[in-house]
Copies of this chain bind each other. A is one copy, B any other.
């Protein structure tokens, strides 16, 4: 009954996943891990009673590995996901599915050829209670037709190496997915505006990103990766009859020295840690039962298509349109 998971990549997020699977998810066991930093992989494997392997391929091939979790560098995802498909094993792939639209499409076609979904993308926000409530408010008819979506996505700091392009591919990509998922339609154009840069930033930051969707909804997103004060992800979905706001979770407030204060999440672990646990539990539950509740390879392809258009938009200052291939019927009924 236990699903035995192999984890490829044991950096920041990979380590988080290994520990979550080993200690917080029912019905899961981590049996094998791989990382180019073999020391780190070995140490983590020991912690959770798993084996450290010599390669990603070795992990995928093992008999005691029923399913794979990819937390390796994005550039390696297509080839590793294809190996999972070949081995006929379910794979939870952290974003992105691939760095280029072409390689995403290649993976997508492979899955379509297989005829059933093995790939889930790691867009954990779809499991966050707040986002689910926003979606429920829209889908439940409480705010009428969606017209605009205002988003902010702020990180306290990033390393100097984290440039303005990476803000698009690594950070904005989350709103690309949530916008598509919330609105239930594709993004057709993207614009990226610069403006005044924070003195704490080593690259253009913040940026204002605009999406347009098939039905004409405008999404604006402030991407600010050096906001200093905390990890702050919020949105306001504007409908024809009302609005719904995603707030930071708060459960207590301290009043002292003239102020009533609530805490802003310090980092993504604080904010979305619980959503990752739910995501992994749902994935493990689904792997057993053949049900998929998360983002699909199609979502991986579409988000990369928008993100790469975003890079062009940033470079040129232009509004860049996105055209997707026809959606294979395999993904009908999928979330977006």
Which A residues fall within an 8 A CB radius of B? 1, 22-28, 49, 128-130, 133-134, 137, 142-148, 150, 152, 193-200, 206, 208, 210, 212, 215-218, 220, 222, 224, 227-230, 232, 236, 238, 240-264, 266, 274, 281, 285
**In the complex with contacts A258-B230, A264-B259, A250-B250 CB distance below 8 A:** yes
CB pairs A–B below 8 angstroms (16 shown): A23-B26, A23-B27, A25-B26, A142-B256, A150-B150, A193-B218, A196-B215, A197-B216, A200-B241, A229-B256, A229-B257, A241-B256, A244-B253, A245-B252, A248-B251, A260-B261
Complex CA gap A71/B116 in Å reads: 43
Query: Which of the residues B26, B142, B248 comes within 8 Å of A254, measured between beta carbons?
Result: B142
Query: Which chain B residues lie closer than 8 Å to A24 at the CB level?
Result: 26, 281
Q: How far apart are A294's CB and chain B's nearest CB, in angstroms?
A: 18
Number of copies: 4
Q: How far apart are A128's CB and chain B's nearest CB, in angstroms?
A: 8
Q: Which residue of B lies closest to A146 (CB)?
A: B196
- What are the nearest 3 A-B pairs in CB distance? A242-B256, A130-B251, A196-B216
Q: How far apart are A152's CB and chain B's nearest CB, in angstroms?
A: 8
Complex CA gap A252/B133 in Å reads: 7
Query: Which chain B residues lie closer than 8 Å to A228 at the CB level?
Result: 144, 240-242, 256-257
Q: How far apart are A278's CB and chain B's nearest CB, in angstroms?
A: 10
Query: Which chain B residues lie closer than 8 Å to A227 at the CB level?
Result: 238, 243
On whether the beta carbons of A229 and B255 are closer than 8 Å, the reply is yes
Query: Which chain B residues lie closer than 8 Å to A255 at the CB level?
Result: 229-230, 232, 242-245, 264
**In the complex with contacts A26-B28, A228-B240, A199-B258 CB distance below 8 A:** no
On whether the beta carbons of B199 and A240 are closer than 8 Å, the reply is yes
Complex CA gap A63/B218 in Å reads: 55
On whether the beta carbons of B254 and A143 are closer than 8 Å, the reply is yes
Q: Which residue of B lies closest to A25 (CB)?
A: B26
Query: Which chain B residues lie closer than 8 Å to A128 at the CB level?
Result: 251
Most buried by B among A216, A217, A261: A261
Query: Which chain B residues lie closer than 8 Å to A250 at the CB level?
Result: 247, 249-250
Most buried by B among A1, A137, A218: A218
**In the complex with contacts A133-B251, A220-B208, A256-B143 CB distance below 8 A:** yes
